[in-house]
Amino acid sequence: MAAWNFIASLTRDAHTPGRRLLVSATGRAASPVASTHRPAGPGRSVEFRRLEINEQPTNDSVVVRFAGDSGDGVQLMGTQFAASTAAAGSDFATFPDYPAEIRAPAGTTFGVSAYQINLGAGPITTAGDAPQVLVAFNPAALKVSLPLVAPNALIVLNTDTFTPRNLSKAGYAEDPRNTGILDGYQVVQIEITRLTAEAVKAFGLSKSDAGRSKNFWALGVLLWMFGRDLESVERWVKQRFAKQETVREANLGALHAGHAYGETAELSAAVPRYQVSPGTFPAGEYRGIRGSEALALGLAAAAELADRSLMFCSYPITPASPLLHRLARLGELGVGVFQAEDEIAAICAALGASYAGAIGVTSSSGPGIALKTEAIGLAINTELPLVIVDSQRGGPSTGLPTKTEQSDLYQAVYGRNADAPVPVLAARSPSDCFDAAIEAVRIAVRHMTPVILLTDGYLANAAEPWKLPDMGKYLPIEANAIPIKEADEDGESVAFRRDARTLGRPWVAPGTPELMHRIGGLEKDIRTGHISYDAENHEQMTQMRAAKVRAVADFIPDQQVTIGPQRGSLAVVGWGSTYGSLYHAVRSMSGHSVSHIHIRHLAPFPNNLGELLGGFERVLVPEMNMGQLSTLLRDKLGLDPIPLTKVAGQPFLVSELQAAIQRELALTDHQSSDASLRRDAV
Amino acid sequence: MNAPEKTNAKDFASSEEVRWCPGCGDYAILKAVTQVLAKVGARRENTVFVSGIGCASRFPYYLETYGFHTIHGRAPAIASGVKLTRPELDVWVVTGDGDGLSIGGNHLLHALRRNIDLNILLFNNEIYGLTKGQYSPTSRLGTRSPSSPGGSFDQPVSPGLFALGSGARFIARGIDTDKSGLGGVLEAAHGFKGASFVEIFQNCIVYNDNVFGAFTDKANAADAQVRVEHGKPLLFGKNGAKGLHLNTATLALEIIDAQARPEAVLVHDETNPVMAQLLLAMQPPQLPVALGVIYRNPAPSYDEAFIANHVTQLKRTKSVADALRDTDTWRVN
């Protein structure tokens, strides 16, 4: 068996011309090529060599992208491929990239839905810059994905869709298979639609219905390529379509047919097979997890730790809705889900639930958070716990509903009328959403304050393996104790007697005898809780609200350096979902004085953050916005960071970060020729 | 815990100083509410008043119960969160014509159509009081106000018809100073399982004084008010001399001589939504204003359905540690 071993490594080599691997339309491979080879592509090289028959190839990591029409079932195919990867024990990270339209006009470039997965021995921290395998279901998918793929990538095309009409819809004046733009790639052309129809003929489906199984057919081929068995996917299909016999059998038939097709002599000769090493994970029990799932479980876990019910009140919005869907299925964990009539009602109902003693949580994306703003102010003023999850997306206004961005940081930290501070934190990876959710609830209850938890479209949908946490290691979430009321107190309500350290007040819910009191949006007397328009009291209350949020910093861990020296030339500072890319980029720079610092707590910052960042000559802040964390670092810590911004609706590529880091390192080297300034350089 | 508490109206008054204008109709409503709470044996700690913004919405501060003065128009949403979390609580919403029908119209609509068990009191004074007298969504055409110096040309909404159209199952009306009529309506609202909507005609002595005089003034009351009672003929006027009759040709109500044609007087059926619509639409001087329980047609309430349809009736029957493993897992040794 001919097989190709890809070892993609990033180097600083200049472009070198590529070489086309010829694969005939029937899938028969041209004769093998030279033993080593440097194809085209900016700043990277790919080496490969021919393996002898039966030699077991091993890949450190492979990036695979599926792309097709939004009705092609690409997301489902990707999710199942990820599940199979998990079952095979490899590390992975995924990036679903789909359009805002549910079924955009077929064949158009704006209707292309894609799913990218990076899999390997690990640690895998990003979905990968450049796919080495692309499955394109139509010309539009090829058109959109081709600029992304790695040199010499394997491109599987569904040739049935390469009709003049589809080519024109994709904006191809000529068939790209004939223009030479696919030179330098291994192109495998398969009549996926026709072969799928053939495979499911026995089930008596209409022509259009038969075509629907083509994602499973293609998945069968991919699973063969990666040496996987079909078991996990079969099990899923049987469960998912338990009540739809024809669909179930057709999908299973297509899956098997695709897998069998891989084993035919033609394809075996043409297509490389990948053997991805299992991950090198610490011992423990693992599962695959998406950000929205981890977030849902984390919120439920927080409620369990607080021994209260979770009341989740939300209104559908992209990309926050997966959290609503997830929680709606977690009823057994004592989770109540209320789909409100609008964003404002959602946060108000959540606040009502908090007032009544539950863990009240609401969730939205940027435009919805804007609508919730007034109610966040009410939660601040009434000193009630509340968690607001913001799954950020591109904006302003409706913006890019399905594309990721980190541009709500200003809104979270500064975006309210009056002096209205709230704690803000961000999750950094799909599995980290679990701990971030628990932390958000813990802060809300301890300090009796609304808390904003930032995630984004990328985190909500991306997936990775996750070592299951030991629930016994989490401390309970305890509300402030209700003080005993003394007989001679003059009008002071114990409901407003705040803890000296947290400034959180006791959580006195309706139903508690003897402690009836009134709360509201009007300023209240700092002691009695009665309405007060007194100037001095308002000053005190405003100071108290600010001090309360500052006090959060006394309860959170010091900022750590993720990787690299504690002091030195360059700190790469990020927050949220850029964690994986930043980590990967900085790790690849070993030998240079560069450190990765990732901030979870954005308001207030950890107490040591200023000192820590002060130990670096330069601070580079990559963000998927116009420099919002940079502003915050300037504002709160008086630093002068260097923003690196990207607002393309897509995560950072590792290569983009590496280039920026190298640029900054060159400047530090240049500027700090004085050896004393480089004392900590490694 | 829910056993009736022996209290009198004064036990429901909080220590907060009442800050409505002297002569405001809200004082009378406050008194009626405290009397009803004492009468029904409400436990103070299990009673929650939630309000929005406006003169009416100051109400919770003056009651020795749990109270939440929220933001403009959103009281039904916050109250819904309270009720879903703690269904055993007796939750009241106090709102006004601006709060409930203008900025908060959406939430009122949804609370009513869901039939969530809230007692919703809408104080209708047909004006924005707290912002100094602008016309409101219930102001009549031609209302002169700071924002409509030439008279308003905004078509008003009828609170009762809005409620009916929203799917409310309990709609009643009372007048602020009509102690017995209002008390009866409040008691009925409290007793209704589901969203009970009560429109209270409330006089704003400063910005819209006597706007309801055409039917609330003593001189006009008998001829301009009909107090509806389920199963009883719709009589009004001095000694019940007048009756309401349904003209089946025009499908409209008309006034007839009740003594001359007693058999032709319509009998009130509070479960009939068509009759409710006719009664709610009546306006003086052509027809009297309907007061009392106009529509009461019970249906399952949302808060009951919320629990009944929940897989575990909101109880925690499974640990997160187990839920984490509700999928394929693998072990690395």
Residue A561 is assigned to a structural domain of this protein: no
What six digits make up the tokens of B162? 């809005």
| DSSP alpha helix (H) spans, B52-178 | 75-85, 97-98, 105-114, 159-166
Strands (E), A435-576: 450-456, 463-467, 518-520, 568-575
- Closest-CA distance of chain B to residue A76, Å: 17
B97 alpha carbon, distance to own chain's centre: 11
Residue A13 has pLDDT above 70, yes or no: no
- Do A478 and A589 share a domain, yes or no? no
- Closest-CA distance of chain B to residue A467, Å: 9
Say yes or no for a CB contact (<8 Å) between A352 and B45. no
Residue A346 is assigned to a structural domain of this protein: yes
- Closest-CA distance of chain A to residue B311, Å: 6
Tens-place pLDDT, residues A366-412: 999 999 999 999 999 999 999 999 999 999 999 999 899 999 999 99
Confidence of residue A324 (pLDDT cuts 50, 70, 90): very high
Of the candidates A345, A357, A531, the beta carbon closest to that of B85 is on A357
Residue A512 is assigned to a structural domain of this protein: yes
- Closest-CA distance of chain B to residue A127, Å: 21
- Closest-CA distance of chain A to residue B220, Å: 40
- State the total domains in chain A: 3
What six digits make up the tokens of A442? 């813990």
Positive or negative, the CA dihedral B68, B74, B75, B80 is negative
Cβ neighbours of residue A98 under 8 Å, at least 6 residues apart? A70, A74, A75, A113, A114, A402
The DSSP bridge partners found for residue B175 are: B201
Comparing alpha-carbon positions, the chain B residue that sits nearest to A293 is: B324
- Do A159 and A300 share a domain, yes or no? no
Say yes or no for a CB contact (<8 Å) between B46 and A510. yes
**% chain A with pLDDT above 90:** 74
pLDDT value of residue B59: 96
Comparing alpha-carbon positions, the chain B residue that sits nearest to A520 is: B69
Residue A287 has pLDDT above 70, yes or no: yes
Cβ neighbours of residue A553 under 8 Å, at least 6 residues apart? A601, A604, A605, A606, A607
Positive or negative, the CA dihedral A93, A99, A102, A108 is negative
Tens-place pLDDT, residues B239-278: 999 999 999 999 999 999 999 999 999 999 999 999 999 9
pLDDT value of residue A680: 36
- Closest-CA distance of chain B to residue A85, Å: 11
Cβ neighbours of residue A674 under 8 Å, at least 6 residues apart? none
Give contacts of B88 with chain A, Cβ < 8 Å: 511
3-state secondary structure A586-654: HHCCCCCCEEEEEECEEECCCCCHHHHHHCEEEEEEEECCCCHHHHHHHHHHCCCCEEEECCCCCCCCH
Confidence of residue A491 (pLDDT cuts 50, 70, 90): low
Closest CA to A537 of A523, A522, A547, A518: A523
Of the candidates B15, B310, B332, the beta carbon closest to that of A283 is on B332
Say yes or no for a CB contact (<8 Å) between B67 and A509. no
Give contacts of A232 with chain B, Cβ < 8 Å: 328
Q: Which of B5, B43, B78 to mutate to test the interface with A (most CBs of A within 10 A)?
A: B78
pLDDT value of residue A447: 98
Of the candidates A279, A520, A530, the beta carbon closest to that of B68 is on A520
pLDDT value of residue A54: 32
Say yes or no for a CB contact (<8 Å) between A516 and B310. no
Confidence of residue A489 (pLDDT cuts 50, 70, 90): low
Say yes or no for a CB contact (<8 Å) between A356 and B53. no
- Do A175 and A258 share a domain, yes or no? yes
- Do A180 and A138 share a domain, yes or no? yes
Q: Where in chain B is the domain with CATH 3.40.50.970?
A: 9-232+268-308
Tens-place pLDDT, residues B22-60: 999 999 999 999 999 999 999 999 999 999 999 999 999
CATH code, domain with A398: 3.40.50.970
The count of residues in chain B is 333
**Chain A contact for B326 (CB, 8 A cutoff):** no
Positive or negative, the CA dihedral A631, A560, A461, A304 is negative
pLDDT value of residue A222: 94
Last residue of a domain, one of A270, A299, A321: A270
Tens-place pLDDT, residues A99-112: 877 777 889 999 99
The amino acid at residue A129 is D
Give contacts of B83 with chain A, Cβ < 8 Å: 352
- Do A313 and A390 share a domain, yes or no? yes
Confidence of residue A669 (pLDDT cuts 50, 70, 90): low
Give this prediction's pTM.
0.89
Tens-place pLDDT, residues A19-71: 222 222 333 333 333 233 333 333 322 233 333 333 334 568 899 999 999 88
Task: Read off the pLDDT of each residue in A575-584 and give the average, rounded to a whole number.
Answer: 96
Last residue of a domain, one of A270, A299, A318: A270
* H/E segment holding residue A203: none
- Do A54 and A107 share a domain, yes or no? yes
Task: Read off the pLDDT of each residue in A113-134 and give the average, rounded to a whole number.
Answer: 92
Tens-place pLDDT, residues A240-273: 999 999 999 999 999 999 999 988 756 666 677 8
Do residues A586 and A661 make contact, with C-beta atoms less than 8 angstroms apart? yes
pLDDT value of residue A272: 77
**% chain B with pLDDT above 70:** 99
B246 burial (CB, 10 Å; 0-12 / 13-18 / 19+) is: middle
The sheet with strand B252-257 has its strands ordered as B235-236, B242-247, B252-257
CATH code, domain with A672: 3.40.50.920
Residue A321 has pLDDT above 90, yes or no: yes
pLDDT value of residue B3: 79
**How many A/B residue pairs have CB atoms within 8 Å?**
213
DSSP A36: S
Say yes or no for a CB contact (<8 Å) between B324 and A468. yes
Tens-place pLDDT, residues A610-657: 999 999 999 999 999 999 999 999 999 999 999 999 999 888 999 999
Residue A206 has pLDDT above 90, yes or no: no
pLDDT value of residue A28: 31
How high does pLDDT run on average in chain B?
96
> B9-232+268-308 architecture in CATH?
3-Layer(aba) Sandwich (3.40)
Last residue of a domain, one of A496, A526, A556: A556
Residue A116 is assigned to a structural domain of this protein: yes
Residue A636 sits in which domain range?
Answer: 568-678
- Do A574 and A520 share a domain, yes or no? no
Q: Which of B57, B70, B112, B113 to mutate to test the interface with A (most CBs of A within 10 A)?
A: B70
- Closest-CA distance of chain A to residue B132, Å: 18
Task: Read off the pLDDT of each residue in B106-130 and give the average, rounded to a whole number.
Answer: 97
- Do A577 and A493 share a domain, yes or no? no
**Chain A contact for B16 (CB, 8 A cutoff):** yes
Tens-place pLDDT, residues A61-95: 899 999 999 888 999 999 999 989 988 888 999 99
| Omega cis (within 30) before A99 | no
Residue A562 is assigned to a structural domain of this protein: no
Of the candidates B318, B329, B331, the beta carbon closest to that of A332 is on B318
Residue B109 has pLDDT above 80, yes or no: yes
Tens-place pLDDT, residues A427-469: 999 999 999 999 999 999 999 999 999 999 999 989 999 999 9
Residue A563 is assigned to a structural domain of this protein: no
Confidence of residue A163 (pLDDT cuts 50, 70, 90): very high
Q: Which of B48, B53, B66 to mutate to test the interface with A (most CBs of A within 10 A)?
A: B66
- Do A370 and A338 share a domain, yes or no? yes
- Closest-CA distance of chain B to residue A237, Å: 14
Residue A279 is assigned to a structural domain of this protein: no
Tens-place pLDDT, residues B180-202: 999 999 999 999 999 999 999 99
Give contacts of B61 with chain A, Cβ < 8 Å: 518, 520, 531
Confidence of residue A492 (pLDDT cuts 50, 70, 90): low
Give contacts of A382 with chain B, Cβ < 8 Å: 68
Residue A354 has pLDDT above 80, yes or no: yes
- Closest-CA distance of chain B to residue A249, Å: 22
Do residues A420 and A377 make contact, with C-beta atoms less than 8 angstroms apart? yes
**Helix B105-114 vs helix A343-355: angle between axes, to the nearest 10 degrees?**
70
**Chain A contact for B14 (CB, 8 A cutoff):** yes
How high does pLDDT run on average in chain A?
87
Q: Which of A332, A417, A515 to mutate to test the interface with B (most CBs of B within 10 A)?
A: A332
Do residues A583 and A562 make contact, with C-beta atoms less than 8 angstroms apart? yes
Say yes or no for a CB contact (<8 Å) between A334 and B45. no
- Do A448 and A348 share a domain, yes or no? yes
Of the candidates B63, B81, B332, the beta carbon closest to that of A350 is on B81
Residue B119 has pLDDT above 90, yes or no: yes
A647 alpha carbon, distance to own chain's centre: 16
pLDDT value of residue A11: 26
Closest CA to A651 of A412, A413, A392: A392
pLDDT value of residue A490: 59
Task: Read off the pLDDT of each residue in A513-523 and give the average, rounded to a whole number.
Answer: 95
Give contacts of A522 with chain B, Cβ < 8 Å: 69
